[in-house]
Structure 1
Amino acid sequence: MMWFLLCVGLLIGGYFIYGTFVEKVFGINEKRQTPAFSQTDGVDYVPMSKGKVYLIQLLNIAGVGPIFGPILGALYGPAAMLWIVIGCIFAGAVHDYFSGMLSVRNGGQSVPNLAGKYLGKSAKHFMNVFAIILLLLVGVVFISAPAGLLGKLTGWDVSIFVAIIFVYYLIATVVPVDKIIGRLYPFFGALLFFMSFGLAFAIMLSSEHSLLPNVQAGDFFQNLNPKDMPLWPALFITIACGAISGFHATQSPLMARCVENEKNGRFVFFGAMIGEGIIALLWCAIALSYFHGVEGLSTGMAGNPANVVYEASTGLLGAVGGFMAILGVIILPITSGDTAFRSARLILAEFFKMPQVALPKRLVLAIPLFVIGGLLTQVDFGVIWRYFGVANQATAVLMLWTASAYLLRHNKLHWITTIPAMFMTTVVITFLLNSATLGAGLPMTLSTIAGSISTLVITALLIVKTKGKGEVDSDGELPDEA
């Protein structure tokens, strides 16, 4: 239990210490009017309180990523928890903060437009395609996972729940943000906290199970995978949403359109990622503890993380409490899936310069997205998840480089985003070069060397081409920023 509490303490400390430092580097302006007020439209730009925006942001970014990813990552042992802590504080929370605050500074624009502004038109076009693909994959993943759990709970055909969730997604995608998302998500947030803390207290009080009882300090630096799967770079692709996730960059602009003041940014964007990191830690620890180590976890999982959720929840909280916990796990992906499709609609709206106040115009963009999403649900879930993992981290890489370009142009400390960008760039390139199913199938050593060299070249090019580019006004901001 000591190790778990220490990890949670480090995450909370990271919010107050490193989060404050990141905020200072960015340089908030409490007097600057946010898009929620300057562009209010009653649909997507709607001012909301800090607490409500935080809960919606947390639910938007959570999904099954901080549950399924850490459970799969737990097969490598406590090293997964170490990456969650380090990755969440120095990469994921920084990534989320800049994706949110750069959107606030640029009228609530989405990631492709931000990438285009700070990295160039080629990056914008690439990001437009990549973001839409990622959001469609997310939407499909976050339909299949909850539908499967609902089918397991009720015994009904999974396709029934797929259809029901699709209908809900369509409605939530086109109605004003404060009608469903703004009203229901705070309640869902309470259910999420019940699920998280309920399971934590249950395993702490359990006579049969203890929280990480036999973990030693050295275990955090070892690969304990029972099948000898290599930790590098797979762990950093497998655990996405609990440490760093590009999907979050597509979600942060949704709440950037609702934030009332720039001073709320650290709590909403940095803080929500820290909250997700705590959820990821919890599920990683439960997976290792409930099944008494990686060997038992591998057997109990049987290839599907949903089995771990079901067994641990019902085993620790009983039938009723377990049902409530599983319901929380079901709601998490649903509350991310609907905003994934909403984000895709808004990205297309920006690309086609199509105002979204009128309902018919929202439907024109939303319906084709759902048709494509419906077709993708017929693809094997395992295949979709692999492509989602790579696309997710590649999107995070591009967002981090966008933030670095912003800081370089403003002569600010860019290393807070450049260092995590370099690390994740190496991870993605190495993974793609090494993977036999998704990439070139090259040897790991060669892939790592090539990934490292490529990263150094990208870093040098960015710094040389971007540093000091563009003149700033008296407030230290680029003239074209609102």
Structure 2
Amino acid sequence: MTWFLLCIGLLIGGYFIYGAFVEKVFGINAEKTTPAFTKTDGVDYVPMSKGKVYLIQLLNIAGVGPIFGPILGALYGPAAMLWIVVGCIFAGAVHDYFSGMLSVRNNGQSVPNLAGKYLGKGAKHFMNVFAIVLLLLVGVVFIKAPAGLLAKLTGFDVTVFLGFIFLYYLIATIVPVDKIIGRLYPFFGALLLFMSIGLTIALAFSSEHTMLPGFQMGDFFQNLNPNDMPLWPALFITIACGAVSGFHATQSPLMARCIENENNGRFVFYGAMIGEGIIALIWCAIALSFFGGIDGLNAGMAGNPANVVYESSTGLLGAVGGFMAILGVIVLPITSGDTAFRSARLILAEFFEMKQIQLPKRLMLAIPLFILGAALTQIDFGIIWRYFGVANQSTAALMLWTASAYLLRHNKFHWICTVPAMFMTTVVISFLLSSAKLGAGLPIDVATGGGIVTTLVIAALVIFKTKGKGEEALAEEA
């Protein structure tokens, strides 16, 4: 229990200490009018209060990622909790803050346009394709997971729930942001808090279960995976949401269009990521504790993290409380899936320079996305999840390089973004080179060497190509 509380304390402390430092480096301007007011359109640019925007941002980014990822990551042992804490404070929350605040500074633009502005046209075109692919994968992952849980709860065929969720997604994607998302998400936020706090208290006071049973401090630095899976670099792909996730870069601009003052940025963007990190810690701790250890978790999971959600929720909170907790897990992916498709629509709208005030133009972009999404639901969930993981972390690396380039242009302390960008780039390249299923299948030491060399080359290109543009950037701001 002590280690769990320490991890929670570190995340909260990270918000107040490192979050304030990141905010200072960025340099907020409380007098600058935000896009919510300068571009108000009643559809996507709508001013909202700080508390409401925070809850929507949290629900936008917290799909099944901070639940399924930490459960799968728990098979590696308490090292998963260490990665959640360090990754969230120094990489994930920094990534989310800059993806949100750079959008605020650039009239609410999406991540491909931000990448194009600070890294060049090549990065913009690459990110346009990558972001759409990632968002489609996210939408599909966040449809199949809740549909499967609903089918398990009710006994109805999963296809029925797939249809209902798709219909909701289409409606939520095209209506004004304050009509469904702005009204329902605060209620869903309360459900999320009940789920997280309720399960934590139930586990802490359970007479049948012990928090982190038998684990010692040294276990935080060891790979305890019972299936002989390598900790490096697989853990950092497996646990994305909750530590660092490129999907969030596609979501932050949604709330950048609604935030009322730059002063709210740290609470909304950095703070929501810390909130997601706490959710991830809770589920990682439950996975490590409920089944009595890693071997029990491996058997109880049976290859599907949804089994852990179902068994632990009903086991700790009983039938009624368990149902409410599972409902919270169902709501999480649905409230991220709808905004995934919404983000995809807005990215396409920016690419085609198509204003979205009129409903027919929104439908013109949304319907093809849903047709592609429906086709992808026919692919095995495990395959979709693997590609989602790699696409997700690749997007995170590119967003961090974008933020690094911005800081370099403005002669600011870029290392807060450059270091995590280098780490995540090494993770992705090493994983692709070592993976037999998705990449070259090279030995891990060769793959890691390739990842390090590639990262150093990218870092040199970004730093030396961007440094000379400081005066140009200052002129733009003036």
TM-score range, shorter chain: over 0.9
Deviation sequence 1:39-66 (CA, Å, 0-9, x none): 0000000000000000000000000000
Quote the residue 1:127 is aligned against. 127
Look up the match of 2:338. 338
Partner in structure 1 of residue 281 of structure 2 = 281
Asked if the contact 1:410–1:468 (Cα under 8 Å) also holds between the matched residues in 2, the reply is no
Cα offset for 1:266? 0.1
Equivalent residue for 1:46?
46
> Which residue identity does 1:91 align to in structure 2?
A
Letter in 2 for 1:165: I
Aligned residue number for residue 463 of structure 1: 463
Question: What letter corresponds to residue 294 of structure 2 in structure 1?
Answer: V
* 2:288 is the alignment partner of 1:260: no
The equivalent of 1:292 in structure 2 is: 292
Aligned equivalents of 1:293, 1:418: Cα separation in 2: 37
Three-state SS of the structure 1 residue aligned to 2:14 is: helix
Q: Match of 1:161? A: 161
Q: Aligned residue for 1:413?
A: 413
Task: Determine if contact 2:78/2:220 at 8 Å carries over to the other structure.
Answer: yes
1:364-412 deviations in whole A, cap 9, x for unaligned?
A: 0000000000000000000000000000000000000000000000000
Which deviates further from its counterpart, 49-58 or 463-472?
A: 463-472
How does 1:349-360 map onto structure 2 within 5 Å?
A: 349-360=349-360
For 1:185-200, what aligned pairs fall within 5 Å after superposition?
185-200=185-200
**TM-score (normalizing by structure 2):** 0.99
8 Å CA contact retained: 2:62, 2:336: yes
Q: CA deviation at 1:214?
A: 2.0
Give the distance between the partners of 1:198 and 1:96, measured in 2 at CA.
27
Mapped partners of 2:383, 2:254: distance in 1: 28
Instruction: Give 2:324's aligned residue.
Output: 324
Q: CA deviation at 1:470?
A: 4.2
1:139-187 CA distances to partner (integer Å, 9 max, x unpaired)? 0000000000000000000000000000000000000000000000000
Task: Find the counterpart in structure 1 of residue 234 from structure 2.
Answer: 234
CA offsets, 1:95-123, max 9 Å, x none? 00000000000000000000000000000
List aligned pairs for 1:141-160, cutoff 5 A: 141-160=141-160
Runs of 5+ in structure 1 lacking a partner? Answer: none
User: What is the match of residue 77 of structure 2?
Assistant: 77
What is residue 245 of structure 1 aligned with on the other side? 245
- Kindly provide the amino acid, as one letter, of the partner of residue 86 in structure 2: I
The number of residues matched between the two structures is 478
SS in 2 for 1:187: helix
Question: Which amino acid counterpart does residue 117 of structure 1 have in structure 2?
Answer: K
| 1:427-442 → structure 2 map (5 Å cutoff) | 427-442=427-442
Displaced runs of 4 or more, over 2 A: 477-482
> Is contact 2:130–2:391 with CA below 8 Å preserved after alignment?
yes
- Give, in whole Å, the separation in 1 of the partners of 2:6 and 2:272: 19
Separation in structure 2 between the aligned mates of residue 380 and residue 425 of structure 1, nearest angstrom: 27
User: Is 1:105–1:481's contact at 8 Å kept on the other side of the alignment?
Assistant: no
Q: In structure 2, what is the Cα distance between the partners aligned to 1:241 and 1:173?
A: 22
Instruction: Letter of the 2:152 partner, please give it.
Output: K
What's the CA shift string for 1:232-279, capped at 9, x where partnerless? 000000000010000000000000000000000000000000000000
* SS of equivalent residue, structure 1 residue 471: helix
Partner of 1:312: 312
For residue 99 of structure 2, what is the aligned residue in structure 1? 99
Question: C-alpha displacement at 1:481, in angstroms?
Answer: 5.1
What residue identity is the alignment partner of 1:284? C
Match of residue 348 from structure 2: 348
> Is the Cα–Cα contact under 8 Å of residues 411 and 468 in structure 1 kept in the other structure?
no
Residue 421 of structure 1, CA deviation: 0.3
Q: In the alignment, what sits opposite 2:450?
A: 450
Give the whole-Å Cα distance in 2 for the aligned partners of 1:227 and 1:409.
46
Tell whether the 8 Å contact from 1:65 to 1:240 is kept in structure 2 after alignment.
yes
Q: Distance in 2 between matches of 1:68 and 1:204?
A: 21
Secondary structure of 1:386's counterpart equals helix
| Structure 2 CA distance for aligned equivalents of residues 291 and 95 of structure 1 | 34
- Aligned partners of 2:417, 2:387: CA distance in 1, in Å? 25
Distance in 2, Cα, partners of 1:480 & 1:376: 42
Whole-Å Cα distance in 2 between the matches of residues 63 and 328 of structure 1? 10
Q: 1:260, 1:68 → 2: CA distance?
A: 33
Aligned to 1:137: 137
Instruction: Please give the alpha-carbon distance, in whole angstroms, between the structure 2 residues aligned to 1:376 and 1:228.
Output: 31
TM-score (norm 1): 0.98
Q: How does 1:368-407 map to 2 (within 5 A)?
A: 368-407=368-407
Structure 2, unpaired ranges of 5+: none
3-state SS of 2:356 partner? coil
Distance 2:430 2:194 in 1: 39
In structure 2, distance between residues paired with 1:335 and 1:54: 14
SS of residue in 2 equivalent to 1:249: helix
CA distance in structure 2 between the aligned counterparts of 1:184 and 1:326, rounded to whole angstroms? 18
Distance 1:60 1:479 in 2: 35
Distance 2:269 2:29 in 1: 16
Q: Which position in structure 2 is the counterpart of 1:55?
A: 55
The CA deviation string for residues 279-303 of structure 1, in whole angstroms up to 9 with x for no partner, is 0000000000001111000000000
173-182 vs 222-231, which moves further: 222-231
Q: Distance in 2 between matches of 1:367 and 1:468?
A: 44
Secondary structure at the aligned position of 1:467 is classed as helix
Instruction: Indicate the residue corresponding to 1:181 in structure 2.
Output: 181
Partner SS, residue 41 of structure 2? coil
Taking the aligned partners of 2:444 and 2:414, their CA distance within structure 1 comes to 30
Deviations 1:456-476 (A, max 9, x none): 11111111110141425xxxx
- CA positional deviation for 1:341: 0.1
Q: Which amino acid aligns with 2:157?
A: D
- Displacement, 1:478? 3.9
CA distance in 2, matches of 1:478, 1:289: 53
Question: More deviation in 353-362 or 456-465?
Answer: 456-465
In the other structure, the counterpart of 1:19 is: 19
